[in-house]
Amino acid sequence: MKQILSISGYLAVKEVWRNRGRFLLVSLVIALITLLVLFIAALGEGLGNGNREYISKLDAQLIVYQAKSDYLIAASRLGSDRLEEIRGVDGVADAGKFGAASAALILPGDEDALKVALLGVEPGHTGEPQVVEGQQLGSDDANEAIIDRSTALRTGLVPGDTITVRVTQGTEFEFFELRVAGATTGQQYSLQPSIFVPFDTWDRIRPKSAAEVAIPNPVANVILVRLEDAKQVEEVRQRISAEANDVEIATLKEAIQALPGYSAQQSTLNTQGGFTLFIGILVIGGFFQIQILQKVAQIGVLKAIGTANPLVAIASVIQIVVVTVIGVAIGGLLAFLFSLTFPPTVPIVFNGTTSALAIVALLLIGPLGGMVSILYAVRIEPLKALGLSS
Amino acid sequence: MTTYALETKSVVKTYQSDSGVIQAVDDVSLKVGAGEFVALVGPSGSGKTTMLSILAALLQPTSGQILLDGQDLASMSDVDRVTMRREKIGFTFQANNLVPYLTAVENVELMLRLNKKLDKVGKLRARELLARLGLGERLHNLPGQMSGGQQQRVAIARALIHNPSLVLADEPTASLDTERAYQVVETFAGLIHEQGRAGIMVTHDLRMCEFVDRVLSMQDGKLVRIYTGKEEIMELVKGGRH
């Protein structure tokens, strides 16, 4: 076997090297396919991340919604009485109210206002993100905010700064000043950068209809539940269901899948990625098939002088792998270099796992595409290839 | 008792076609000794190419025996026949002889590589053989950078480098001008005699028979005549008829 690999490798590498222009061209085609696949994967990750980032990083295992809200946060309304019921359920370590709204962050100078997700969380309870700089939120009605990394990158704000939030209440614009208490990691919500404010503050400054203005009504969208034992998700879920009226409960995974547009967006991008890989298989398959057709006589000579079929097949596989690896390496490098040039506003995230999966898929398309040509090479009859058959 | 490098016994090859059974090779028995160079001649369709394919272990006969160093090619498995081609047979073809992405010396060394014999001595022998064939300055040229005659000489070196028992040449002068054709066949014959190989050359060009020890003439699949002795062969060469 070692001998076969050694000779196959020798023949494969010699052929690639002596025809490097032709093979490099195929590697470049693979590099472009790699670039495309990695960008589609990164775009899918970026868009998905922008949608689910806050929820996926939650220190919670369950999300409680109003019954029949179909796991839609915006459609759910839960009062404080539900919160108390849930906190009393056996197995629940903590629960916190969560409210989501949109607002505009007024930036100094002539810059356009930044649209942000205005998120209400209970200080010290589940849902409040951990700061990486500055301090946690003080009290339930403090005029404070935690900004996420995305907001910080886009605005240059740091803890201690004062921000102005513009919302519509009734039919008027209202402006609220908040002190930036701390900054947290990336916690985008609905593809928007986030600012977290104490829940009562959120209720006061969130956009409201004319009827709601000046009427305190601290109704949360959902309640975030942290369990004493993260493994007992199903048991606690059933208990909450039994003890709290008119609620429906989702795990984080279910909640993410139910985010508006999330599944459709991901499946669209996955389909695009799949089709690109498929086109890659056809392109590589086509190239190697044409190449094999061009060298039928040459393979015939090799077989006639005593080269065994496994050697011919392995030489073809090595050639395909070499060309594919070079192509994927060039494509990966290009993708990395391009990624450095994108501003934080572009939702592209090169996640290690997703990129690794894409790269493995790309490395497989070479041998998959070339399979037909390898089979063809193995079946070449030296007698026919050399024109000796009667 | 004389032992022959190659001996065939009543070799028959038939094909089934729409018009019935075709007898491509019909009861051919022949013997070639070590150091003997034999020409296989005959008109188109006489069965000489089919016979060559059978002798090269590329084609199984319908019946009969092909004994190469005492081993019967006809009764071997496909894998064993590949091994025989690699170890015991040297081959040159009409065209497309060489691996185009290997240099002259690499093409010759390939046979040693395949036979696990590529050591320092083997490398030296490959260079010496090519030098003897007048290719000392072309060792590192790719086939595309050499003339047809030079390519044929590289193919001859490749056919001989691994010390095979049998060397086969299929129309080795087909793509060469007369002068180069003479040079190639003369060199080929010289090496076969010198190295003690059994050599068989299929050719339609009777002028090339000047350098062989015997001429086997085939017609309609049968071995119809054997020319031996210099005079008889030269008569055939001058007469120009099979």
- B-chain residues near A389 (CB < 8 A): 53
The Cα A291–Cα A54 span in angstroms is 51
Residue numbers of A between 308 and 327 with CB closer than 8 Å to B: 308
Q: What is the 3-state secondary structure of B94-124?
A: CCCCCCCCCCHHHHHHHHHHHCCCCCHHHHH
Provide the domain limits for residue B63.
6-239
Apex CA A189: angle with CA A255 and CA A169, to 5°? 110
Q: Is A297 helix (H, G, I), strand (E, B) or coil?
A: helix
- Residue B154 belongs to some domain of the structure: yes
Q: Which residues pair with B44 in a beta bridge?
A: none
Query: Which residue in chain A has the smallest CA separation from B158?
Result: A305
- Residue B225 belongs to some domain of the structure: yes
Q: What is the CATH number of the domain that holds B219?
A: 3.40.50.300
What are the φ and ψ backbone dihedral angles of A85, each rounded to 5 degrees? -60, -45
- Residue-wise pLDDT tens for chain B (242 aa)? 557 889 999 999 998 888 888 889 999 999 999 999 999 999 988 999 899 999 999 999 999 999 999 899 999 999 999 999 999 999 988 876 799 999 999 999 999 999 999 999 999 999 999 998 889 999 999 999 998 889 989 999 999 999 999 999 998 888 778 888 888 899 889 989 999 999 999 998 888 899 999 999 999 999 999 999 888 888 888 876 55
Q: Are A39 and A348 in contact (CB under 8 A)?
A: yes
Question: Across the interface, which of A7, A19, A389 has its CB nearest the CB of B114?
Answer: A7
- Residue B148 belongs to some domain of the structure: yes
The Cα B159–Cα B107 span in angstroms is 10
- Residue B60 belongs to some domain of the structure: yes
- Residue B11 belongs to some domain of the structure: yes
Average of per-residue pLDDT values in chain A: 90
Q: How many CB pairs under 8 A join A and B?
A: 70
pLDDT per residue as tens digits for the range A193-230: 999 999 999 999 999 888 777 666 678 999 999 999 99
Domain count, chain B: 1
Element (H, E) at A319: helix A309-340
State the complex-level ipTM.
0.88
Q: Which of B118, B152, B119 is nearest to B135 (CA)?
A: B152
Span between the terminal Cα atoms of chain B, in Å: 32
Is A389's Cβ below 8 Å from some Cβ in B?
yes
- Residue B1 belongs to some domain of the structure: no
The Cα B224–Cα A269 span in angstroms is 75
The Cα A375–Cα A369 span in angstroms is 11
Q: Is B95 helix (H, G, I), strand (E, B) or coil?
A: coil
- A-chain residues near B142 (CB < 8 A): 18
Q: Alpha carbon of A284 to those of A23, A28, A277, A289, A320: distances in Å? A: 11, 11, 10, 8, 9
Q: Are A138 and A198 in contact (CB under 8 A)?
A: yes
- Residue B20 belongs to some domain of the structure: yes
Element (H, E) at A368: helix A352-379
- Residue B232 belongs to some domain of the structure: yes
